[in-house]
Structure 1
């Protein structure tokens, strides 16, 4: 991560501020002396013989003493204000006005003994201000000339001529250790066409980036717009493609405001930025109302979603956070991220498998959680197509174990984490998660409590997801495998998904399926091409064809579902309940497009995905055994 360092008050770090202030006072004293002489010469209409030298010396001494006393009182020479700033200039005028007023009072009080015209102070005032400001300007030019980045600094364009971009340009220009030297600004505001910030010119708009790179020979482009939309970032990246320009981005504004990385810290643009999303504006009061001081349990706490959920929930000060997972190493990693220790000897970590009905029941009866986030699940489409029995055991029966335990423990809020593949399901994963949604709706009906499901798409950076796979394939030299050139998916960042999950728990109505706004779907081929371009390597792309259970385009809303908005980024829909007494594994396998073998075989029937029976679930499905 790049860093830019600057000295205090705009001065180089090696300078001694106290020495500068003494030098400045000496220059200000000289400014008063010259200003008074000019005032007397003008007052006497260039008749120098009329000037009384002794009285001039006394008058100048009074001005210098006044400047010292008033300047000290107002901290002009004590470093209170940033060197060369408008605040310092305003203070300089105030001090000079007061000193001029004191000099005028002296000529009025001692006019018999001090033979200096009363108008001298008024005439000297603008000259004194001008000369003191000039000395500061010369000093600023000297300091800035010494503070310029060295010859080895990379020529840098800055996208954004607003506050962040201007601050960044000034910091780069005034830090001799800066690895970047600003040579131009890019901004889409037509009002900034001829603007210069710290001598750095605005060279054009977004469409002019490629030309600006050629004219300035820039090797770096810093995007100085916090939380810039991914679409705009993709446009910027496209304009510098093939020009060997390194694109850097600032940290998110929320991180800078929270005391994290600052304006001088930036990193290379990542593919997550190009398909990523904005932070969610969550209602903190609603969330705190049902999490603060409550016992909260998270299943699958070692997974990508579960661990981030735990981190976000802990910020709301729950009475107890109970993290459940069957993977001891994953549990330890989550505990370390929360507490900085991974001894696994506390009550916060629980090693258990949701398939174990007895163990889950004991955990709930002993710990009595009030809020549950059910994130434990098997999620890989292709693997579950081969082993459907495992999906049944974990995603269906395991979820049922958690639901029953939550009902027995009188859990008040239960959030079942689902997937977009449950909408018009065409895979084992989709069918299993659909059943978990329907059983959650059943639990809401029988309890009257807030039991809801939350449905969303692919999560950027989660374990086993597409981006880490592409990264490894590119590192190995390829090829990068894409199922189909037209295939698209919804994407969401892990923090955003978890923020919305927590928010959903606050606003959901019992039995609802809440649907997170995933924005526009992204073509997988575009992602692969961008990642290859960013790597700078020549890597082939190979199309493997859609696998069993995969759709060309995912959906968030089923064909028989109607959604309505609850939140700017959360919608709701209703779903038919499923009484667990009516579970039938054989019928479930038939509906999921599998053969009739038992759960231990895992074989699938060779039926193209598009030919499978993807009819939405209706009330009463699946039928009980024997029906």
Structure 2
């Protein structure tokens, strides 16, 4: 490369003098021109080593290498042009302006020829795979599609043989991706696949929407085509595709492909070096919160739960210590106010993530008093003890069911949000709530239910064919909870962007397809207190933007603990508790539902 670049300066000089001066120069001009070339070659070699151009900094012929080469040539032309203009009055300005450009073109042309020759040799030398890859049509002719085609071409034993591309951009209809032609639009997917004998479709769009993924999946299923997806950027290293990372379409793809970006510096300022308490640490959200908080190096991480087995599992996952003989694991029921306050008095937490709650909607519809005791009174106890002991930061984990609440779960979590806002006003500290929807893969989630039903041979029960829910993965939800904690203000309710709602029946069908079993889906009808479509904001709420694009802020009316109402014991041995919500939340219609019977 050094020899070629040196020769490029000589050839550039010869070409310039031939065209401009027909090689007729005075002896002095020849001396100046040759001196310029010699100086340029010397600077080229020195600069090439200083910038690592000749030490393998970039792949030969790559855009990065040619860019670095261009910068070096420009620098040489400026330095030498200024020096010769001052030192040699007879210096031809054309040499300073034209010759470096000619030299750069010759250098770049040599690299292009070398790269083409190497690619041709590689293709000639590569042996045909023993087993031909599965004929595949690639959906997406963008960067991911180009990377995929390059990997298939350079692999000795590629799993797929590309038959062509389709793309939704009509302007790409004449595009060739490494020789593979774009054969049509995304709408032509099935027709093109059949015409070309494709057996698989590779979705090479790393930021595809859930709607597009589901639509492609449905069409592939109907046509008997295997759907393979390029993983989202967050699942790849440095955004680079690898053939062994291609995978079958799964349930997580239904949630969307956006990457959650969090400001770890701002989050760390709230947690690092602080004593942090996580209530409900044995649950899915609580345990993941504990793991992410631990990575931010708190002074001490306290885990509180009433379930000793769940607490043991979380502790074991954090540090492998299952003895449970240290004060950082606390067995306590948040319903017990005195026990909770004793924990705060003894351990003095500075930051609290309150994830302890009862969450199963149909169970709470049957036993509303249990929801009241844990989600409302338990939260009040934790808030009161936190405020009394000077906790600086309190994050209450809420749910989208608190917006326009129609269920016991939604109403109790709504009350918890309002209590948190009241304590924020009293203390002036960052006491706030974070509201989000269903968490994919959490304990007792719809995935667990569906998989258990599939394992038993079905049927899979879905309430309604049109019912939709918002979903997030557990790590994504916890990352945004931490981010919300960093940017929230006292009394805020911060609502996480859940993307687009997903049809529950699509989740069921995807899980059945993954299992490979022939399982039926039955529809049971909506349960008491259950909505067809969840909302993240109630009709009376107006969301405001925050510093994070995936987090919205809303205000809720504050509710003092003394206004919670009274618990009225019923008659008989069952001691049915009637919860007085009058004046606190909209009164539920009393039409024989569990909510109407248990709450007024």
Q: Residue 393 in 1 paired to residue 373 in 2?
A: yes
Q: What residue in structure 2 maps to residue 382 of structure 1? A: 362
Are the aligned partners of 1:250 and 1:266 in contact in 2 as well (CA < 8 Å)? yes
1:598 CA displacement: 7.1
Match of 2:123 among 136, 144, 152: 144
Q: What residue in structure 2 maps to residue 563 of structure 1? A: 542
Q: What residue in structure 2 maps to residue 469 of structure 1? A: 449
Are the aligned partners of 1:354 and 1:398 in contact in 2 as well (CA < 8 Å)? yes
Q: Would the alpha carbon gap of residues 596 and 549 (structure 1) be closer, same or farther in structure 2, given more than 3 Å must change?
A: farther
Are the aligned partners of 2:492 and 2:553 in contact in 1 as well (CA < 8 Å)? no
Are the aligned partners of 1:149 and 1:174 in contact in 2 as well (CA < 8 Å)? no
Q: What residue in structure 2 maps to residue 585 of structure 1? A: 567
Are the aligned partners of 1:454 and 1:516 in contact in 2 as well (CA < 8 Å)? yes
Q: Name the larger-Rg structure.
A: 1
Q: Would the alpha carbon gap of residues 356 and 177 (structure 1) be closer, same or farther in structure 2, given more than 3 Å must change?
A: farther
Pairs within 5 Å for 1:79-158: 82=59, 137-147=116-126, 150=129, 151-158=131-138
Match of 1:488 among 468, 480, 486: 468
Pairs within 5 Å for 1:106-505: 137-147=116-126, 150=129, 151-256=131-236, 265-276=245-256, 278-339=258-319, 342=322, 344-505=324-485
Q: What residue in structure 2 maps to residue 55 of structure 1? A: none
Q: Deviations over 1:333-374 (max 9, x none)?
A: 434544466554555433333233333222212221111110
Q: What residue in structure 1 maps to residue 557 of structure 2? A: 575
Q: Deviations over 1:55-114 (max 9, x none)?
A: xxxxxxxxxxx9xxx9xx98999877646756789999999xxxxxxxxxxxxxxxxxxx
Q: Would the alpha carbon gap of residues 131 and 426 (structure 1) be closer, same or farther in structure 2, given more than 3 Å must change?
A: closer
> Secondary structure, in 3 states, of the residue corresponding to 2:182?
strand
Q: Deviations over 1:166-198 (max 9, x none)?
A: 122111211113323333233223343222233
1:461, 1:329 → 2: CA distance? Answer: 19
Q: Would the alpha carbon gap of residues 455 and 145 (structure 1) be closer, same or farther in structure 2, given more than 3 Å must change?
A: same
> Secondary structure, in 3 states, of the residue corresponding to 1:240?
helix
1:130, 1:453 → 2: CA distance? Answer: 61
1:379 CA displacement: 0.8
> Secondary structure, in 3 states, of the residue corresponding to 1:425?
coil
1:377 CA displacement: 0.8
Are the aligned partners of 2:369 and 2:578 in contact in 1 as well (CA < 8 Å)? no
Are the aligned partners of 1:156 and 1:221 in contact in 2 as well (CA < 8 Å)? yes
Q: Would the alpha carbon gap of residues 575 and 223 (structure 1) be closer, same or farther in structure 2, given more than 3 Å must change?
A: same
2:468, 2:172 → 1: CA distance? Answer: 39
1:348, 1:609 → 2: CA distance? Answer: 46
2:216, 2:506 → 1: CA distance? Answer: 15
1:247, 1:370 → 2: CA distance? Answer: 49
Q: Deviations over 1:532-571 (max 9, x none)?
A: 4555544322222222332333343345x32231423323
1:531, 1:503 → 2: CA distance? Answer: 31
> Secondary structure, in 3 states, of the residue corresponding to 1:225?
coil
Indicate the larger mover: 322-331 or 457-466.
322-331
1:299 CA displacement: 0.7
1:447 CA displacement: 2.0
Q: What residue in structure 2 maps to residue 49 of structure 1? A: none
> Secondary structure, in 3 states, of the residue corresponding to 1:418?
strand
TM-score of the pair, normalised by structure 2: 0.74
1:398 CA displacement: 1.9
> Secondary structure, in 3 states, of the residue corresponding to 2:416?
helix
Q: Would the alpha carbon gap of residues 407 and 175 (structure 1) be closer, same or farther in structure 2, given more than 3 Å must change?
A: same
2:484, 2:114 → 1: CA distance? Answer: 61
> Secondary structure, in 3 states, of the residue corresponding to 1:242?
helix
> Secondary structure, in 3 states, of the residue corresponding to 1:183?
strand
1:364, 1:291 → 2: CA distance? Answer: 17
Q: What residue in structure 2 maps to residue 109 of structure 1? A: none
RMSD: 4.5
Task: Count how many residue pairs are aligned between Structure 1 and Structure 2.
Answer: 524
Indicate the larger mover: 338-347 or 509-518.
338-347
Are the aligned partners of 2:150 and 2:178 in contact in 1 as well (CA < 8 Å)? yes
Pairs within 5 Å for 1:2-151: 82=59, 137-147=116-126, 150=129, 151=131
Unaligned runs of 5+ residues in structure 2 are 5-40, 74-104, 580-587
Q: Deviations over 1:419-441 (max 9, x none)?
A: 22233433332232233223223
> Secondary structure, in 3 states, of the residue corresponding to 2:481?
helix
Are the aligned partners of 2:418 and 2:556 in contact in 1 as well (CA < 8 Å)? no
Q: Would the alpha carbon gap of residues 505 and 299 (structure 1) be closer, same or farther in structure 2, given more than 3 Å must change?
A: same
Are the aligned partners of 1:293 and 1:319 in contact in 2 as well (CA < 8 Å)? yes
Q: What residue in structure 1 maps to residue 487 of structure 2? A: 507
TM-score of the pair, normalised by structure 1: 0.71
Are the aligned partners of 2:358 and 2:371 in contact in 1 as well (CA < 8 Å)? yes
1:520 CA displacement: 4.1
Are the aligned partners of 2:462 and 2:505 in contact in 1 as well (CA < 8 Å)? yes
Indicate the larger mover: 342-351 or 195-204.
342-351
